């Protein structure tokens, strides 16, 4: 086993998740590389010290440049606001340090393309954790193995209700397109669609702000959006994203229809996958609920009991394992920065389509 010094930029919600993951991944997956929590960066010296003590880092700083350039920091995790991603990634790659960056990759398509260019020949990874549940990994395998035949239709959504109440005050989420629904929620389900079905070639979209004013200010980004699309393999698709859907807390859900069956999944019940296969006898034909267990991808390292389930933090630990494996082998692990950029390209195409009220070829964006 070999230690590797980890630096995390951002100590809040996702910074904590990645710190916990890096502290646990060696024990869960018996990784060859064992993370050492070397340095955490936050917005002020006081918050950096708070996170250092809480998460077990050796040092804290309020200067990301200091973290990136520190020789004891051998790999960098970016869990800070999107507008900071590009500069941090470019600086780390200039020093030949592997970089994991939370989605969305940068604050714009231009940012993500620049980050892909900077990452050439080096280890990069974009954080899309939901597609890593054992259930969704198994869904990908079923599709790849042809269990439901050729894919003809995909329906996906990422819906939540944290801004469903119009009296919720304006905050950082209501300012800047990168923090709107298309920048915040849509990338997860677009990534899921690309992973399950393949590239999206064309689309038409409608993106709207429903609550244009809130207590304390105006809203200058989007509340929800929908798009119809065509995949490279010929399948049709429909995707919907919303932060104003009452009752939905983690509405990352999809249906995949094929010529031989169908798959359904809902992240609010993330340890179950629903499978329908058309070749069953008619009297018993129907959806069956598959509870995840040790037979499914990346489940057994967490628990040996079928149906006991994995959770949100476990998805981040799986990401940590993959990032360390990429560093160890020198081989990129999906999703790389290129994959993150391709998600941003679909988002940009959807915003352009909504503005122009027309179909868009994604490759033209």
Is the same domain home to 113 and 140? no
Cβ neighbours, 10 Å, residue 283: 6
Residue 47 forms part of a structural domain = yes
Specify the DSSP class assigned to residue 360: E
Strand, coil or helix: what is 145?
Answer: coil
Residue 311 forms part of a structural domain = no
Residue 324 forms part of a structural domain = no
Q: What is the CATH number of the domain that holds 37?
A: 3.40.50.720
Is the same domain home to 28 and 50? yes
Q: What is the CATH number of the domain that holds 148?
A: 3.30.360.10
Is the same domain home to 284 and 176? yes
Is the same domain home to 126 and 27? yes
The boundaries of the domain holding residue 219 are: 131-306+343-356
pLDDT in tens, 28-38: 999 999 999 99
Is the same domain home to 119 and 136? no
Is the same domain home to 147 and 295? yes
Is the same domain home to 35 and 175? no
Is the same domain home to 54 and 25? yes
The residues pairing with 161 across neighbouring beta strands, listed in sequence order, are none
Is the same domain home to 216 and 167? yes
Residue 205 forms part of a structural domain = yes
pLDDT at residue 316, rounded to an integer: 98
Is the same domain home to 41 and 153? no
* Alpha carbons 312 and 310: distance in angstroms, whole number: 7
pLDDT at residue 1, rounded to an integer: 77
Q: Provide the residue-wise pLDDT of the chain in tens; the chain has 365 residues.
A: 799 999 999 999 999 999 999 999 999 999 999 999 999 999 999 999 999 999 999 999 999 999 999 999 999 999 999 999 999 999 999 999 999 999 999 999 999 999 999 999 999 999 999 999 999 999 999 999 999 999 999 999 999 999 999 999 999 999 999 899 999 999 999 999 999 999 999 999 999 999 999 999 999 999 999 999 999 999 999 999 999 999 999 999 999 999 999 999 999 999 999 999 999 999 999 999 999 999 999 999 999 999 999 999 999 999 999 999 999 999 999 999 999 999 999 999 999 999 999 999 999 99
The answer to whether the CB of 5 falls within 8 A of the CB of 36 is: yes
Residue 208 forms part of a structural domain = yes
pLDDT at residue 218, rounded to an integer: 97
Residue 318 forms part of a structural domain = no
E strand or H helix that includes residue 266: strand 261-266
The answer to whether the CB of 203 falls within 8 A of the CB of 359 is: yes
Residue 317 forms part of a structural domain = no
- What is the tally of structural domains in the chain? 2
Residue 363 forms part of a structural domain = no
DSSP symbols for 18-81: HHHHHHHHHHHH--SEEEEEEEEE-SSHHHHHHHHHHHT-SEEES-HHHHHH-TT--EEEE-S-
Is the same domain home to 86 and 214? no
Is the same domain home to 45 and 173? no
């Amino acid at each position: 086993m070999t230690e590797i010094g980890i630096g995390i930029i951002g100590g809040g919600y996702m910074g904590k998740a990645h710190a916990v993951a890096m502290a646990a991944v060696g024990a869960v997956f018996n990784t060859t590389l064992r993370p050492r929590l070397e340095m955490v960066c936050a917005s002020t010296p006081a918050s950096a010290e708070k996170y250092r003590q809480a998460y077990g880092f050796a040092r804290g700083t309020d200067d990301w440049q200091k973290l990136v350039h520190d020789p004891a920091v051998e790999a960098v995790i970016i869990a800070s606001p999107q507008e900071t991603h590009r500069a941090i990634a470019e600086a780390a790659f200039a020093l030949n340090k592997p970089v994991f960056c939370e989605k969305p990759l940068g604050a714009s398509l231009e940012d993500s393309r620049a980050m892909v260019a900077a990452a050439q020949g080096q280890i990069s990874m974009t954080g899309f954790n939901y597609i890593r549940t054992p259930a969704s990994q198994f869904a990908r395998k079923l599709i790849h193995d042809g269990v439901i035949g050729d894919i003809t239709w995909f329906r996906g959504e990422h819906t939540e209700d944290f801004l469903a109440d119009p009296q919720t005050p304006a905050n950082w989420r209501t300012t800047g397109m990168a923090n709107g629904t298309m920048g915040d929620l849509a990338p997860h389900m677009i990534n899921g669609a690309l992973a399950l079905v393949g590239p999206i070639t064309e689309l038409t979209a409608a993106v709207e702000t429903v609550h244009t004013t809130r207590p304390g200010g105006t809203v200058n980004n989007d509340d929800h959006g929908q798009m119809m699309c065509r995949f490279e393999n010929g399948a049709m698709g429909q995707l919907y994203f919303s932060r104003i859907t009452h009752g939905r807390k983690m509405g990352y859900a999809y249906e995949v229809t094929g010529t031989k069956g169908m798959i359904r999944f809902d992240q609010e019940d993330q340890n179950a996958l629903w499978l329908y296969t058309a070749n069953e006898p008619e009297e018993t034909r129907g959806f069956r609920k598959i509870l995840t267990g040790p037979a499914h991808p990346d489940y057994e390292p967490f628990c040996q009991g079928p149906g006991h389930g994995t959770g949100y933090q476990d998805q981040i630990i799986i990401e940590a394992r993959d990032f360390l494996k990429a560093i160890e082998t020198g081989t990129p692990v999906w999703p790389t920065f290129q994959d993150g950029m391709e998600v941003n390209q679909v988002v940009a195409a959807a915003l352009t389509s909504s503005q122009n009220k027309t179909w868009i070829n994604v490759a033209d964006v």
